[in-house]
Structure 1
């Protein structure tokens, strides 16, 4: 057959170069390709590999025939990129490199390339091609990171195998040599792509390749592993990547197009091609795969950063900085059994998760509050431990408080929670979580999947904790408000039942459980009523009042409503909606105005033990202490005893101190000329690293005997052992006589333990006057982020304001302190409104 020269169109439709028209193809490859793609088993790794082999043979035949005809040697055809990995989806691009040793004529090489590329274009296949010598390929790789990444997957197809082998060897050597400089560039590319494409695990129409957690990220992890600097967690990673590739295969076959975007209108067809029940099942599997890849990427890039930082500091200098052998990181304590090491929260050397099932929550809370990632190996140790020795049900108070602390860490909660979820810990702790995990939300208003929306609501609720009297109940309700979406029917109704079970599992009492269930059941009540009902109708306001039952629950529901809307998406909340809800709240509050506030209470009657200590304090004239082990069972034993290698989770500490009586017969919480008892006692506990979970203060003032201040504390060691009672008593005596400078010691302690990365940005403190709560005293309520020395600062501020603390009720709810102080003026009477607000403002300034 005579061949001729003619003008042809290139792959983009523009006039192409003159080329020789070859005889028409025999139909072998196109027909075989079509048969393969029409096979019922055309989706999956075997199909992709078979398509790659079929394409290999076809391209190898083209090179052999045309190179032989042209008399060319020293050439090789190389597959790179996805084709180089042997993974060809039905509409995948072909990434090809025609490699040559530089001895052939350029014109002959161009003619050979045309005879290779045009048959590919004639079949309608996308092609990324280049013609280079090994030296040119290496230079292109140095200039272009994407070219360098493609060469890491180089695979020989035909021609001179030694030429390909030498290029692969040098490509890997160049990559490992340049990795310290190029990995940060690769990380930047991944982040820029994520900002453009979003997170695959939350998108209703995700791009399977380009979105964060997609196939591009999986390829980047392979490149990191090839650098030998770090490696990704392997558990489930390959299976996740395979599922995304299978989904792309089905997408290509159902659409007939080379697309990576899983559009809504195509999801049912793709699900059917994969043998799935429906589009929701498809999206859930896709989200789970993306979540696995995203988590692996987070861990891997964190490890890359750690390795590169370590390489940037010379070993000798590192040893001088840390005062220890080079290579050993400095450990800073975060909580009992948890330390900071190399920018991560890790388990301490002495930690025993198999004996301490609360440790995983304590570590997660400490990491989130410090704004640190939780080390993968530590999570896995805890995961293995709780699989064999789970938390007792109901949970002990320490576990419940740790969960609330974790949820109250703001945006830092999200990565820690996702790390726990990636290792299967969340569903072990909260089995009902499995039904909402990775569950898509088809409403376009929603930004997140159900589970991420719940966490995002807790993040938003964290900023509103100063508005409510029970921030712990707000955060738990935020976590559970949509938990019913995993069940058929009205998710609010189903969620109420689940919330009751979960709250009981967490160890909440009957009253708190009822509040949580009410919040979940009615989490849509306020916004739906405010925007759809006539607020001037008394029946409307009455129905809401009846549903919530009290002002305390109404206050929590208002905050939950706002947090839920803000976490849903930008279209779910506005100033208009907020104004309508606020108006409804005002009307319902007026309806419930007769309700007595139950969250702030006056002093309780002293117990027999407190009376005994008061008598002893009067007799000795000094402070008297008594410590009692908490009756609550310690986690992991179920019988009230502590695990063999741990201290009891907390103690009750009773302190009785004689108080000074002024000439006007007003008892003072300060012995004459000495610091106040409340700030002194609180400061001593802070110095000994005791966390105050709850406290009550009561002033006994009988007519005949001297007044005595009684303080009852529920405390726990933040880490380490509980201090001895005699040391506490000695330090308290020194604080009361003025020989122990507590503010200076606390400041010194803070400097010594100052961390490089500080804790979350908490909402500012809020100090208010609670009117109508007592006829004999003024109630000052403080809501603030719990911190070392917080109660000491409050006590000092009240002392400087010249008021007497008659009683106090201290509560630490997770990371939030909610404290109420009953104070009187110099005459023993409640403060005037103006004076009360001045005291509140002074305390608030002292806490800022």
Structure 2
């Protein structure tokens, strides 16, 4: 569609002509990105110019001005039209009539409009009072009318902005920080706001405003491309949804990716994250420069007075060979030679992190442009500097991001490219893969006093998820990559073996502790065989906790920590030569025995609730943790009968209690007491609110066991009252048999979307299959339940392999239904 065609359509039929031309433009697949945004802005300019001309005949001293995104010519399909009708204060009635002639046709077409009618003096006054209005006017662009009026306003607004920059820029920085606090960081969000989140389009606009102040300027390399990429995604989002939205929701990502010609939603998110990372880093550097300039302006008059008008010389404090501090940043010494010193980037980074200072952009770019590659294997100093960088705590993150922004990380560690900006579609994870690895190293730095080889712990933390950039099991792929990386950076064979073992088994302890029966000797022996030595177990324990803490708040708790610590204690004993106790030798406690006798005497369930609020006791290597509720221990003794597991699970679900662990066993009663008692030792927690009374739980349990309480119906009613989120489809459940996991029972693993009553449904299905549940180990990670059930036949022995496979298959079919 040519410009002539546009004019003809608009002239022939007014608003309807504009609407038709706009629709054709948006449907042109060949014209997208900047060309379409420019064409849409020009088309809108022509239409509004026509409206202005028709209504302003004979009227002087009036102009129509585009501001904000429209002023920049960045119209997305559903963007607002930001307009100012500027006038010199003449005939106010004629100006108001002209405004109606423009605004109403815009509204009639259903377009969003942000409008105002002002004189230049009023516009400047509003800008002085409202920072957002001032930012919009910085992009003022003439559309129609008195060009001199528009030019005068633009010149005055820019002059005001530059004169007021020392006051307004700190306000703008605070505004950006508040918005980031509310919206989060674009480069890590699974459903990001492309405009408002940190690293989004708002921040890109703020950087333009800083540049317009002439006080400081943003690093320009890659910034325009990052802004263009986010605008392209927003265009596709508007077309895919038909709405004026900046939120890239999960259910729309595949369609947006297809609109942009990308492979899939992960590719889309990775491109969005890369763009956001460029803008975020540019913002960090720019605001740091603004702060330095403003500080120097405040200090310079006093220094000049002290020095008698002499020239100020910046102080440079040495930090390491070839590395100095200057003006609160780490820079290279004048004699430093990146082309002759391949360790310099790591040495500078380690010095910056140790000092808690940012790396100068100029220094990073100088090293990126001229640094020699490290030899293979790395020299000892390079390895030591990497370990120092990783062990420096929270400052490591900013330094690492500075190196990554200029491509230095992928030069040092080529395998990093596959995990860089890679999204993790798991609600438990709050970071991309690469940021999670750095966060794990930061957490691991707090545990270096607990292990004999802190260097191996820190490098393992950096590499433990490196296999997520490859297909298949990331632990298996990561083991191979870790061997190669460890050898390349100079570790000996023994250390390479330890590092690869840590990467391969970094999930072993937490998975085993939360999904396996720790009383089963086979469980402890299997972990001992995988770990191999006390020193590796020590490292793996620290890595497990650091990994979980760096994942997100849902991945770690004092309860999980106590389970892992218990497992580590048992495995350590086996590695020291002790044999684990056989579960058949377990003796009931006095409390358990009391409840069992009472259950036999009354012929009905007996239960007790006991809160667990203490964190695990500190040890020599493990400092005291903050007190945290571990849940409530629920002991239930029931005369042995069928249907106990689904009945208990259903009652707990009805009372909104979350099950963390569940153990079932048959107690041998003292001599002279006849009967058999099933003991359930569970740990539960209230989803919200206070715990129910034990008497209410017992009453409902009695009714559930005698069949007078319709648990399935009650749970179905509650489930219907909370419909699933639109557009979100959970992956199907998966049920498998874990071979050789136990000599005493068959272990069936269930992975499914967590939902109220899930354990009840599983328990009922196992009862229907005719198997007995010996224990259940429940673990919930975000929206995913990962449960393990130890089951036997009625004679108390593991199921034959064919029968076990059949039970698993039927259970999966039940959960799918």
TM-score (norm 1): 0.66
How far did residue 539 of structure 1 move? 1.3
Maintained 8 Å contact 2:440/2:550? yes
Take 1:102 and 1:57, find their aligned partners in 2: how far apart are those partners?
Answer: 26
Does the aligned pair in 2 maintain the 1:484–1:493 contact within 8 Å? Answer: yes
From the superposition, tell whether residues 505 and 26 of structure 1 become closer, same or farther in structure 2 (CA, over 3 Å). closer
Residue 53 of structure 1 is matched in structure 2 by 42
The answer to whether the 8 Å contact 2:15/2:109 transfers is no
The reply on whether 1:94 has 2:94 as its aligned counterpart is no
Cα 1:315/1:767, change in 2 over 3 Å: farther
Q: Distance in 1 between matches of 2:474 and 2:138?
A: 50
Contact 1:319 1:327 in 2 (8 A): no
Asked if the contact 2:180/2:197 (under 8 Å) is kept, the reply is yes
Residues 644-690 of structure 1: CA deviation (Å, up to 9, x unaligned): xxxxxxxxxxxxxxxxxxxxxxxxxxxxxxxxxxxxxxxxxxxxxxx
- Which residue in the other structure is 1:219 paired with? 205
1:486-513: per-residue Cα shift (whole Å, max 9, x none)? Answer: 0000000000000000000110010111
368, 371, 377: which one aligns with 2:353: 368
CA shift at 1:117, angstroms? 0.7
Contact kept? 1:41, 1:47, Cα under 8 Å? no
**Number of aligned positions between the proteins:** 572
Identify the residue that residue 194 of structure 1 maps to in structure 2: 180
Residue equivalent to 2:524 = 541
Equivalent residue for 1:349?
Answer: 334
Superposition deviation, residue 594 in structure 1: 5.0
**Which of 351, 359, 368 pairs up with 1:383?**
368
Measured against aligned partners, the alpha-carbon deviations of 1:200-258 in whole angstroms (never above 9, x if no partner) come to: 00000000000000000000000000001111111110001000000000000000000
Q: 1:270 aligns with which of 243, 256, 273?
A: 256
Shift of 1:25: 4.0
Structure 2 counterparts to residues 630-779 of structure 1, below 5 A: none
Matched-pair contact (CA < 8 Å) for 1:315–1:326: no
Residue-by-residue CA offset, 1:695-732 (whole Å, 9 max, x unaligned): xxxxxxxxxxxxxxxxxxxxxxxxxxxxxxxxxxxxxx
Q: CA deviation at 1:350?
A: 1.1
Contact 2:292/2:327, CA 8 A, preserved across alignment: yes
SS in structure 1 at match of 2:318: strand
Q: Specify whether residues 434 and 196 from structure 1 end up closer, same or farther in structure 2 by C-alpha distance, changes over 3 A only.
A: same
CA drift of 1:73 comes to 1.2
Q: Would you say 1:40 and 2:40 are equivalent positions?
A: no
Task: Find the aligned partners of 1:551 and 1:585 in 2 and give their Cα distance.
Answer: 10
Match of 1:5 in 2: none
Residue 55 of structure 2 is aligned to residue 72 of structure 1: no
Question: Contact 1:407–1:413 at 8 Å: present in 2 too?
Answer: yes
Output the CA distance in 2 between the equivalents of 1:278 and 1:527.
32
**Equivalents in 2 of 1:265, 1:540: separation in Å?**
40
Among 407, 430, 435, the alignment partner of 1:452 is 435
CA contact (8 A) 2:191 2:248 kept: yes
1:442 aligns with 2:425: yes
- Which residue does 1:689 correspond to in 2? none
The equivalent residue for 1:423 is 406
- Distance in 2 separating the partners of 1:182 and 1:315: 21
State the 1:42 CA deviation: 4.5
Give matches, 1:470-481, under 5 Å.
Answer: 470-481=453-464
2:16 counterpart residue number: 27
Matched residue, 1:813: none
How far, CA to CA, are the matches of 1:768 and 1:32 in structure 2? 72
Query: In structure 1, the residue corresponding to 2:226 is in which secondary structure?
Result: helix
SS at match of 2:313: coil
Aligned residue for 1:724? none
Partner of 1:174: 160
**Matched residues in 1 for 2:387 and 2:577: separation?**
31
CA–CA distance in structure 2, aligned partners of residues 298 and 497 of structure 1 = 36
5+ unaligned residues in a row in structure 1: which ranges? Answer: 1-22, 596-765, 770-848
Question: What SS does structure 2 have at the residue aligned with 1:446?
Answer: coil
Residue 138 (structure 1) aligns with: 124
**Once the two structures are superposed, what CA deviation does each residue of 1:64-117 show, in whole Å capped at 9, x if it has no partner?**
11011xx3211000000000001100000100000001112x222212111111
> How far 1:143 moved relative to its partner?
0.6
CA shift, 1:318, in A, is: 5.9
How far apart in 1 are the matches of 2:302 and 2:548?
54
Cα distance in 1 between the residues matched to 2:213 and 2:220: 16
CA deviations over 1:542-565 (Å, ceiling 9, x no partner): 111111111100000000000000
Deviations 1:624-652 (A, max 9, x none): xxxxxxxxxxxxxxxxxxxxxxxxxxxxx
Displacement over 3 Å in runs of 4+:
23-26, 318-321, 323-327, 766-769
The higher relative CO (CA closer than 8 Å, separation ≥ 6) is in 1
- What secondary structure, in the 3-state scheme, does the structure 1 residue paired with 2:133 have? helix
In 1: Cα distance, 2:67 partner to 2:44 partner: 13
Q: Match of 1:406?
A: 389
Distance 1:376 1:319, change over 3 A: farther
Which stretch shows the higher mean deviation, 108-117 or 312-321? 312-321
Question: Which of 489, 501, 526 pairs up with 1:506?
Answer: 489
Distance in 1 between residues matched to 2:414 and 2:138, nearest whole Å? 43
Structure 1 residues 246-292: Cα deviation after superposition (integer angstroms, max 9, x where no partner): 00000000000000000000000000000000000000000000000
Per-residue CA deviation, residues 172-199 of structure 1 (Å, 9 max, x unaligned), is 1111000011000000000000000000
CA apart distance, 1:466: 0.8
Match of 1:488 among 471, 477, 486: 471
Superposed CA offset, 1:722-770 (max 9, x none): xxxxxxxxxxxxxxxxxxxxxxxxxxxxxxxxxxxxxxxxxxxx9999x
Maintained 8 Å contact 2:450/2:621: no
Report the Cα distance in structure 2 between the residues aligned to 1:328 and 1:285, rounded to whole angstroms.
43
Which residue of the partner structure matches residue 555 of structure 2? 572
User: Matches of 2:241 and 2:250 in 1, distance apart?
Assistant: 12
Instruction: Tell me how far 1:29 sits from its aligned partner.
Output: 0.5
- Alignment-derived partner of residue 583 in structure 1: 566
DSSP 3-state at the match of 2:167: helix
Is the counterpart of residue 120 in structure 1 residue 75 in structure 2?
Answer: no
Distance 1:317 1:470, change over 3 A: same
TM-score (ref. length: structure 2): 0.69
2:227 match: 241
Q: CA RMSD in A?
A: 1.8
Pairwise CA distance, 1:537: 1.3
Cross-structure match for 1:668? none
* Alpha-carbon contact 1:357-1:385 (below 8 Å) kept: no
For residues 36 and 229 of structure 1, what CA distance do their matches in structure 2 show?
A: 40
Q: Cα 1:441–1:554, aligned 2, differ >3 Å: closer, same or farther?
A: same
Q: Distance in 1 between matches of 2:436 and 2:542?
A: 16
Number of the residue aligned with 1:229: 215
The answer (yes or no) to whether the contact 2:303–2:312 under 8 Å persists in 1 is no
* Secondary structure of residue in 2 paired with 1:99: strand
Q: Is the 8 A contact 1:503 1:516 kept in 2?
A: yes
- 2 CA distance for matches of 1:324 and 1:538? 81
1:82 alignment partner in structure 2: 69
Conservation of the 8 A alpha-carbon contact between 2:65 and 2:142: yes
1:359 maps onto 2:348 in alignment: no
- Displacement of 1:43 after TM fit? 2.5
